[in-house]
Every structure is written in C-alpha cells, then in structure tokens.
Structure 1
Amino acid sequence: MAVPTAARRTDVSAEEIGFLTAGPGRAAETALARLLDGGIVRVSRDGLVSAVHQNGHGATTDVETHIHNQVRSKSVRIGQVVRNAADSVKMDALQRELRRRRLTRSARPRLGAWWVFLVIGLVMALAAITQPWLLIGTAGFLGTAWYSFGAKPLTRAGRAALAGVTASDRVLAVALEGFRGTISGRPVGALFGMSQAVTNMVPRKKKRRRNARGGGAGAASSAASCGSCGSGCGSSSCGSSSCSSSSSSCSSSSGSSCGGGGSSCGGGGGGD
C-alpha cells in the first residue's frame, strides 16, 4: 500500500492546483485523491467509494468534507462522487476564493472580428491628431477591440501559481493529470490501486467551453477554461476539461494551456 504523501508547503493547495489546471472536476478528483491518500476513504474493485472512518476526521477542506459526507453512510460510484463534488456549493466557494485572490477571472470568448475594431481605432487615433474630437470614438473602438479580444480564465497570478508545480506525489499527479491521465506512461489511477475499469468511471473531460469556470488546460491556461463534469470554470457547474496538463512525469513541471483552466475557469474539468 502506498504511503500517504508528506505535507507540502505551497501558496496553493493541491485542490486549488487541480482547479487552476482543469476546473472544478479536476479539483473534485484531487480532493478525492487526498482522501484516498490519507486512508480516509477507499475505492472498491467495482468503483464504489466508501468511508473508512465514519467520524469525518481527516478531511482538510470543505470539498473533502463534502465528499466524505457523501460516502459516510453508503457507498457511491466514483463517477458520481466526482460529479456531485464538482457541482457542489463547496466548489462554488472554492471558485469565489480563487477569484478573490485574483488567480481566476470570468472568461470572455474572442470575437473573430476583434481586429476590425482595433484597425478602426488606430485609424481614428491618427486622424485625432488633427481632429481632437475623434478621441472619443477612438477610445470606444479601442476599448471594444480590447474587450472582444477575449480573456482566458487564468490570470497572470494564476499562471504564476502553477509555474514549477510538478507531480511530485500521487495527489499532485491527479491535480495535474487526473485519474485518467498518465505519468511516465503509467496510469495515474494505478497509483491508487485502481483498475482501468474503475478509472474509466471517472467523468471524461469535455471539449473546451468558452464560458468556462474560473480555472485551464494544460496546466496553466486551459485549466481555467474548463471543468470536467458539467460546467466550466466560469460557471457554477463542472464542465471543463478539454484541458490537460502538460506535466508528463512525476518530476516534470506542469505546463499551461481548460482543467479547465480554461476554465475554463475557464475550465474544466473532471476526468482527465
């Protein structure tokens, strides 16, 4: 049996890394991974999650507590556990906290004609040299160009928080790659003794959504643009994750890319 991972000091928790990487679904997977790692819950060969300790001691976050409460009185399929946690009010609270810390923001889709507003704004700016009254229109077109250019769910601070994060333990491996992911060619789920059949029960990541929940993919940017079970980083449910982290091994750093991000949060993410 694998030994629980040691405490790790960081500016962001593994759960938050999961959200920033691929949205609410990935954060839910990471919370479940932490409970499995600590021996607080277990997964059967049939993919049923059940509590090992009924008193709830050992859960360290609200999302972990939510998961533990789900399985304390009865066993629940792993896929349902992840979906319920990703769509919970506890996950919404985590999203708000990440936004409060300016690690994520509401994603905006990029309009195909954004550059038209930019060109018009620049032309008007030149004309305003001799016709100052055109400055008002210039500001309007340049502002529209900036807004229509869109925005990814992860902020610069969010990308910085993921910089250098590696899959140094099995919980972080889930945060960066998901149970369906691989580390050095080995399925991440296998690190927890899960068979491929059980791993396949975890919600599969969905294609990136533009209106993703606060969190990106490849670890940094698309993470926020997606979520994995039903909504993205920008919404209240988990829909990310066409995001996948670029971390390829337990010693490699995660890249950035929605887990959705985004998050999509943009983004999204649950399954991979």
Structure 2
Amino acid sequence: MNYPRRLLALAAAYSLLFVAGAHAQAGGPWNNKQCAVVLTYDDAIDVDLDNAVPALDSLQLRGTFYLIGSSPVVARRLPEWRQAAKRGHELGNHALFHPCDGSLPGRSFVTPDNDLSKYTVSRAVSEIRTNNTLLTAIDGKTKRTFAYPCGDLKIGNVAFYDQLQNDFVAARGVSAGLQTPAQVNLANINSYMINGQSAEYLIDLVKKAQQSRTLLVFLFHGVGGGHGLNVDLQAHRQLLRYLKAHEKDIWVAPMVEVAENIRGLRQPAVK
C-alpha cells in the first residue's frame, strides 16, 4: 500500500470509529435494542389504576397514562396516580377538559362547552398549561408528553401545539404507522388505536416493529372494560408477557423517555 492510500484508509477507519462512537453514545436508535414499544393509556379512568397499572407493575414494565385534568378519577384517586408515577409510569397531558372538534362528522358526543372548534387558540394553550401545573403537583416532574384529544391538531387552520413546543418533549397523535427515528414527527407521533383486536394482532404489530427496527406506540382506552374503546384483559396480558419475554430485544419505555432519546439522536455529535 502506497503512502497516500494508507492515509486514505486510516482516515476512513477513523471516520467509521467516530460515527460508531457517536451512535453508541446516544444509546443506539432504540437503546441498543431492535425496536421501541410505548404503551399509552388515555382519559384517566378507573381501569387504568385497577387493571393496567397492576398488570404493568407485575412485569416491571412502564407505560404512559394521558390524564384529563378534570377527570373525577384524578381527584378521587390522586394518591394512586402519584404512586404510579413514583414507580416510573409517565403521567402525560391529555388536556384539562379533553376538548374535541364538534364540527367534524361523528362528533355528536362533543358538548358545547368542550367543542374545540369554538375555542380560541389561547384558551386551548392556557388549559393545557394549567393541566401541566396540576400534573407537576402530582408527580413533581417538569418533562412530559402531550396527547391530542380525539387526535384533533388544529383550531380552524391553526396548529395549536405550535405554541406548546417548549412545554413538552413531544406529542402523540392517532395516525397508525411504524416509524424509524428519522421518520418520527415529535409534534405528532404515530400510534395504533386498539379497540377489540386480538392478542395475536397486538403481538404481530410488535414483531413487525422488531423486523423493521421501528417505533410502535399502542393507544389504549379501556383495559378489560371501563370505556367504549376497549382491549380484552387477557389480550392485554398476553401482549405484556410477550414484551417481557423479549425485553432483551424490545425497549419498552414511557413516551417521554423514547421521545427524549429521539431528540438526542438528532443532536449534532460532539467532536
């Protein structure tokens, strides 16, 4: 090998080592595992504390619970939410009153007081920030994620989350899809809404995430009842058991931790 070629080879080797080092420093795309799975539970309902949290705790898995601040289950069972947070579950923000756009088709359930289409942007932002204050009073944390009520992103033509970018690590939407770190939109993270699907369906989604090395977010409401959108208790248990049995390959973490990891991957490497 002549001298110039040797220099080029050394430079190439150094470059590969630098990239590998930066990648390792960031913990790999999914904490050095095949994929990431986030288990999210919406609306602050009794079955969250009665069924979902105990099932997760029994296998030492952690999830994200998106709380509606005005939910009576928040007030009535506040010490239990606080204990769940201490065990590593994220208490996410699902707005103070869960306003949805009542002008859209199929929204007859939306009351005039909670019709997002009648909100101003400043009102929506103020209520969401008020809910953050409540959640911080419960868990003492200042970093968390947001979930769009009903998946509604806009008031009129205005994306209201644009004013909340500095208040949250990320926001979860309702559009289904598996995504690589580069594909994830931290202002509207994809999720699979579950309503009656089998354990086989849930586990197959995880296997697809493993194969494609992507992020998979589950969106649950009722777990074993308690909501019109529901997952069977046994199907939920089987999913959790699969995740636990394959934890060496699957990173299961709250949304805030996965979103922070993605943010870290997007930071320029320190030279």
Q: Same fold (TM over 0.5)?
A: no
Higher helix content, 1 or 2: 2
Q: TM-score, normalised by structure 2?
A: 0.23
Q: TM-score, normalised by structure 1?
A: 0.23
Higher strand content, 1 or 2: 2
